[in-house]
Structures are given as C-alpha cells and as structure tokens.
C-alpha cells in the first residue's frame, strides 16, 4: 500500500490532529496513523466516516490516482 498523503493533507487543512480525527470516528490515533502510512486498509464504513469529518469525498481522500 502507498502512503495516504491526501488524508494527511486534508486533516492538516482542517487543522486536526490524528487524535482529533480518531476521536471523531471512534478509532485509535494509531489506526489513523496506520492509514496515513499505508499500513492499514480501512473498511468502507471507516472511510466514509473519515470523509464526513473532513468534509471531503471518498474520491478526494481514498481513490488512488491511475498514472498510466
């Protein structure tokens, strides 16, 4: 998996810490860290929750660009 820099940047744009996002969606800070580092593939339910907190779409945060 690749690092999710879009999640990190969207979180920074909202001035939210990993802990802030984690508390808002009901997971640990370590889970958010693992998603950002590409070490954990979140469920679609968790992805949707994260997007709602950040005010972004699934495409904006979790869709991998196809660079062909």
In a domain, 68, yes or no: no
Query: Residue 14 in contact with residue 60, Cβ under 8 Å?
Result: no
In a domain, 67, yes or no: no
Output the pLDDT for position 3. Answer: 85
**pLDDT tens-digit map of 45-64:** 999 999 999 999 999 999 87
Positive/negative CA dihedral, 9, 11, 13, 16: negative
In a domain, 26, yes or no: yes
The whole-model pTM stands at 0.88
Q: Provide the domain limits for residue 18.
A: 5-61
Environment class of residue 2 by beta-carbon count within 10 Å: exposed (0-12), middle (13-18) or buried (19+)?
exposed
60 Cα distance to chain centroid: 10
Domain CATH for 32: 1.10.260.40
Please give the helix or strand (H or E) that residue 21 lies within, else none: helix 18-25
In a domain, 34, yes or no: yes
Q: How many domains does the chain have?
A: 1
């Amino acid at each position: 998996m690749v690092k999710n820099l879009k999640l990190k940047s969207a979180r920074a744009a909202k001035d939210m810490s990993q802990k802030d996002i984690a508390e808002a969606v009901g997971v640990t800070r370590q889970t958010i860290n693992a998603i950002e580092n590409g070490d954990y593939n979140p469920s679609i339910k968790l992805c949707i929750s994260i997007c709602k907190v950040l005010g972004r779409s699934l495409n904006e945060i979790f869709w991998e660009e196809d660079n062909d």
